[in-house]
Chain A
Amino acid sequence: MDEEIDTRKINSSFLREHNYATEADIISTVEFNSSGELLATGDKGGRVVVFQREQESKNQPHRRGEYNVYSTFQSHEPEFDYLKSLEIEEKINKIRWLPQQNAAYFLLSTNDKTVKLWKISERDKRPEGYNLKDEDGRIRDPTTITALRVPVLRPMDLMVEATPRRVFSNAHTYHINSISVNSDYETYMSTDDLRINLWNLEITNRSFNIVDIKPSNMEELTEVITAAEFHPNHCNTFVYSSSKGSIRLCDMRAAALCDNHSKFFEEPEDPSNRSFFSEIISSISDVKFSHSGRYLMTRDYLTVKVWDLNMENKPLETYQVHDYLRSKLCSLYENDCIFDKFECVWNGTDSVLMTGSYNNFFRMFDRNTKRDVTLEASRENSKPRAILKPRKVCVGGKRRKDEISVDSLDFSKKILHTAWHPSENIIAVAATNNLYIFQDKVN
């Protein structure tokens, strides 16, 4: 599929140009809001950058709705837990937008331990003409005041401010890996390795534990929770994935504690593929409901699977993301890449899946035509408004001209986080510390 490129860099300082990216700038999460007007990114330094789509203008039709920086704020700071003598990273693990209910925008952002609700609002007027203080804010000498006036609101330059409205803390012993807003718009859940907690968006001093898989004897621990999400339409249903490659669907109406699942999705392991690393590569790194709520998508190290909620014993579809890595698992284990957690996303109509890979490649799978494409997010190949060229990895034998061999792949350039606009063909791809936004070609 042809794509027009509109590259955006978060930082364009000298250091970034030469790839000496500071670790704090590494993007750790990307998320469109429900209308697609806003795009939020979180990074390892605890900052959130929100982009807003330009209104389309008639005099520049080819610059169709570009994304510009709208707001930047420090969401989380590094903390120190004195009781356990450990540092709490400020890295933003997930951002989730709340549906818009008024002029302000709300999002939830989380690090390993604390979830925060941020309000992003615009201010374009300010009051002028106070009686007791002058325009600079200095207190006026009361004896100089001879007349009273009513302050009036005058327009000012647009200012976007972000304020923390709620802080949800002290509820997780282990590291938070997901948050998910419920379709009731009143509650959300936060998930760590062993527990899932349900919160009310208004109440910060209490949360309810709804799933707890911690064994009484930690030596018996065999699996952890890797991701969880609420059903898009049914406020009582949610799923969580495990490190063993299974997904459990739970119904909150059945019991207060959802330790017993309603449905259990697991594909039996193929014994011919057994290796030292079978457990690691079967661990699910991301789970996403389709927009329709009928399907589930899961990502493990080598594949993306689509599950029908009505069929638990095997996935509906399985897509190979980078099967050529199956023979390289040992080296990927040595350089730690085998532990990378890739995310996956649906497009707005649930017909295309997207996920990332190495060498700044990302893959798209069309569920209807069964075609797939590999694209690259890199500065060298992406001039603004250029068409992205499909890439191909050569798995052995003769390497054709434009192909790249498996051994030349750069494993330090990984695309873990991607996002798809809820209704249009616009995608955001995070490549380490750079954000790429691609749109469909305009004819």
Chain B
Amino acid sequence: MDVSAEAKRVMVQALSKLYSSRSQRGGLRLHRSLLLTLVMKSARDIYHSARAACESQELQESQELQGKAAEPPSDPPPPLEKPQQQEEQEEASMEEEVSSPEVSLEVPQRCTQPELDQENRSPARADRHSRKRRGKTATEPDFLPCKRAKMDTGEVLRILQDASLRSNAAGNCARGTDTLPSANTHMPRTVATC
């Protein structure tokens, strides 16, 4: 558990460093952003493998406790699916130069509740018998800052995309190739500027 706690801490710090680098003077530093993204990915992988190992251990223990007749508990596939889904999600959400803040919204949620498929299952499954409404903070991981006003996810993504378009992410405009303002794009190798 120590490893996963440290991994979580490293991930959170990577995210906050990525966030703060957006407002840095001189624009986004590609090298630094890349290193932070790599650190975050490896911390995330370690976190997941630590959680998976922990869960499989718990699984084994609970199976032994309940005996052979017990129904299979929450399925193993979700933890295995999660890293893959998340990776695809992250790859898709990575903007031109830096992994966008969209990642930060998705990653923490999945990290802390790998045994729940957020999209297809009801998060209140464990306490569905309770009549109390589950607060937003109960589902959110504790290390994220608490946002009182909750926005529709689609709207959040759109706003973030606008923000990153305005940022130093070169090439966010329609051109897929070189983005030098005065470069001749049909000569990718010789940069002629006048």
Name A's B-contacting residues (CB within 8 A).
Answer: 83-89, 91, 112, 169-171, 173-175, 177, 193-194, 197, 205-209, 212, 216, 218-219, 221-224, 226, 243, 256-257, 276-280, 283, 330, 333-334, 336, 339
Find A339's partner among B6, B35, B183, B194 (CB 8 Å cutoff). B35
Whether A257 contacts B193 by the Cβ 8 Å rule is: no
Whether A174 contacts B30 by the Cβ 8 Å rule is: yes
**Which residues from 19 to 72 on chain B have a C-beta closer than 8 Å to any C-beta of chain A?**
25-27, 29-32, 34-35, 38-39, 42-43, 46
Q: Let me know if B180 is at the binding interface, CB within 8 A.
A: yes
8 more contacts with CB within 8 A, not counting A86-B168, A171-B180, A174-B30, are A84-B27, A86-B27, A87-B25, A89-B25, A208-B190, A243-B35, A257-B189, A333-B39
Please give, as numbers and ranges, the residues of chain B lying within 8 Å of A209 by CB-CB distance: 188-191
Distance A394 CA – B2 CA, assembled complex (angstroms)? 28
Distance A207 CA – B183 CA, assembled complex (angstroms)? 11
Interface residues of B, CB < 8 Å — how many? 44
Whether B26 contacts A276 by the Cβ 8 Å rule is: no
Q: Let me know if B17 is at the binding interface, CB within 8 A.
A: yes
Q: Name 11 A/B residue pairs within 8 A (Cβ), A-sorted.
A: A169-B193, A170-B182, A171-B193, A174-B30, A175-B27, A193-B30, A206-B192, A218-B97, A276-B39, A279-B39, A333-B39
Whether A84 contacts B26 by the Cβ 8 Å rule is: no
Q: Which residue of A lies closest to B176 (CB)?
A: A216
Distance A261 CA – B59 CA, assembled complex (angstroms)? 51
Shortest C-beta distance, B12 to chain A (Å), equals 11
Please give, as numbers and ranges, the residues of chain A lying within 8 Å of B166 by CB-CB distance: 85
Q: Let me know if B85 is at the binding interface, CB within 8 A.
A: no
Whether B182 contacts A193 by the Cβ 8 Å rule is: no
Q: Let me know if B96 is at the binding interface, CB within 8 A.
A: yes
Q: Which residue of B lies closest to A285 (CB)?
A: B31
Q: Which residue of B lies closest to A274 (CB)?
A: B42
Q: Which residue of B lies closest to A194 (CB)?
A: B30
Q: Which residue of A lies closest to B97 (CB)?
A: A218
Please give, as numbers and ranges, the residues of chain A lying within 8 Å of B30 by CB-CB distance: 174-175, 193-194, 224
Distance A15 CA – B75 CA, assembled complex (angstroms)? 65
Whether B191 contacts A207 by the Cβ 8 Å rule is: yes
Whether A279 contacts B191 by the Cβ 8 Å rule is: no
Whether A219 contacts B35 by the Cβ 8 Å rule is: no
Whether B31 contacts A173 by the Cβ 8 Å rule is: no
Which of A226, A276, A336 has the most chain B CB atoms inside 10 A of its CB? Answer: A276
Please give, as numbers and ranges, the residues of chain B lying within 8 Å of A222 by CB-CB distance: 34
Q: Let me know if B94 is at the binding interface, CB within 8 A.
A: yes
Distance A333 CA – B92 CA, assembled complex (angstroms)? 27
Shortest C-beta distance, A87 to chain B (Å), equals 6
Q: Let me know if B139 is at the binding interface, CB within 8 A.
A: no
Find A334's partner among B13, B168, B193 (CB 8 Å cutoff). B13
Please give, as numbers and ranges, the residues of chain A lying within 8 Å of B167 by CB-CB distance: 84-86
Q: Let me know if B118 is at the binding interface, CB within 8 A.
A: no
**Which residues from 126 to 166 on chain B have a C-beta closer than 8 Å to any C-beta of chain A?**
166
Shortest C-beta distance, B131 to chain A (Å), equals 43
Whether A279 contacts B180 by the Cβ 8 Å rule is: no
Shortest C-beta distance, A220 to chain B (Å), equals 9
Distance A204 CA – B193 CA, assembled complex (angstroms)? 9
Given contacts A173-B180, A243-B31, contact A277 B189 (CB under 8 A): no
Which of B30, B182, B183 has the most chain A CB atoms inside 10 A of its CB? Answer: B30
Please give, as numbers and ranges, the residues of chain A lying within 8 Å of B188 by CB-CB distance: 209
Please give, as numbers and ranges, the residues of chain B lying within 8 Å of A330 by CB-CB distance: 6, 10
Find B192's partner among A205, A212, A256, A278 (CB 8 Å cutoff). A205
Please give, as numbers and ranges, the residues of chain B lying within 8 Å of A333 by CB-CB distance: 10, 13, 39
Whether B182 contacts A173 by the Cβ 8 Å rule is: no
Whether A218 contacts B31 by the Cβ 8 Å rule is: no
Whether A83 contacts B181 by the Cβ 8 Å rule is: yes
Please give, as numbers and ranges, the residues of chain B lying within 8 Å of A205 by CB-CB distance: 192-194
Whether B6 contacts A224 by the Cβ 8 Å rule is: no
Whether B193 contacts A219 by the Cβ 8 Å rule is: no
Whether B34 contacts A197 by the Cβ 8 Å rule is: no
Given contacts A173-B178, A280-B35, contact A84 B10 (CB under 8 A): no
Given contacts A170-B180, A206-B193, contact A276 B32 (CB under 8 A): no
Q: Which residue of A lies closest to B171 (CB)?
A: A218
Whether A89 contacts B26 by the Cβ 8 Å rule is: yes
Q: Let me know if B117 is at the binding interface, CB within 8 A.
A: no
Whether A226 contacts B26 by the Cβ 8 Å rule is: no
Q: Which residue of A lies closest to B178 (CB)?
A: A173
Distance A226 CA – B171 CA, assembled complex (angstroms)? 21
Whether A226 contacts B31 by the Cβ 8 Å rule is: yes
